[in-house]
Amino acid sequence: MISPELAKKIRYIQIYTSKAVNDLLAGEYHSVFKGQGMEFEEVREYQIGDEVRSIDWNVTARMGEPYVKRFREERELTVLFAVDLSASGEFGSTDKLKNEVAAEICALLAFSAIKNNDKVGLIVFTNTVELFVPPAKGTSHVLRLIRDLLGFKPRQARTDITAAVEFLGKVAQKKAVVFLVSDFLETGFERALRTIGKRHDLIAVSIADPVELKMPNVGLVELEDAETGELIQIDTGSAAFRKNYEGIGAERTGQLKDLFRGMDIDQIEILTGRDYVRDLVRFFRTRERRTQH
């Protein structure tokens, strides 16, 4: 049984994401993820306007008049969400925690996928893979994924992206579209990402909170590292501290961008408190323009 509060959240996300998908995302998704190739469907008589390149010369010679081959797109894709729900995601200076935003983004993309008749699967990880839901189709399946994401209680606090990516490599034998959703505060995962990025269409969804990039002036505060439990005291009233803090945040953001660009991995940057639907639409449109050139 799920709690009334969780049921309410799931219902909200279903209504919100369905509207966003219908209004904005479904067409963008279909344009960007076009399937694995073309499948032969039939041979028919040539009609004015048909591509000359599609003429089947063997059939044409046999029948004495031109015939063309027709193909249809192999539409069905497998979409996998590898979602980091470690303790660092249980932070939020806006109305939602990073982990809640991660769940909502996955819901949006998952509903876009099933609207295009694609399969959707889920990997939830911390410093180990804690949940795997094999890919399947249908609204009830997506609702199950949303329930699993929103109701998830991690057993471990820390993060190991490499372990998650290696697990993904074992369970996804055929090429898939993979959304790797994390705050990417961990390091040392570069080699694993480079390997999996060669086999799959890998997209990094990096989630950050505004306070991780710019510290407000709230005086003397004690902060706890969610993953290690380490406590530190900082003086946010110091302009020098805030400037240095902002510089470190900007440097980390830039390094992450450079890392993904260097691996030829697409990145969607998400900032909690901002309209992430626009961020997703912008990503799809940018990617579509790039693939057309």
Same domain as 198, residue 93:
yes
DSSP string across the chain: ---HHHHHHHHHHHHHHHHHIIIIIHHHHHHH---SEEEEEEEEE--TT--GGGB-HHHHHHHTS-EEEEEEEE---EEEEEEE-SGGGS--SSSS-HHHHHHHHHHHHHHHHHHTT-EEEEEEESSSEEEEEEEE-SHHHHHHHHHHHHT---S--S--HHHHHHHHHHH--S--EEEEEE-----S-HHHHHHHHHHSEEEEEEEE-HHHHS-----EEEEE-TTT--EEEEETT-HHHHHHHHHHHHHHHHHHHHHHHHTT-EEEEEETTS-HHHHHHHHHHHHHHHHH-
pLDDT score for 293? 61
Same domain as 205, residue 63:
no
pLDDT score for 228? 85
pLDDT score for 54? 83
Same domain as 182, residue 200:
yes
Same domain as 229, residue 137:
yes
pLDDT score for 39? 54
Number of domains in the chain: 2
Residues in the chain with pLDDT values less than 50: none
pLDDT score for 119? 94
Specify the CATH number for the domain of residue 177: 3.40.50.410
Same domain as 70, residue 124:
no
Same domain as 249, residue 204:
yes
Same domain as 170, residue 149:
yes
Same domain as 128, residue 25:
yes
Residue 55: which domain range? Answer: 37-74
Same domain as 184, residue 227:
yes
Same domain as 198, residue 57:
no
Same domain as 61, residue 170:
no
pLDDT score for 129? 97
Same domain as 216, residue 120:
yes
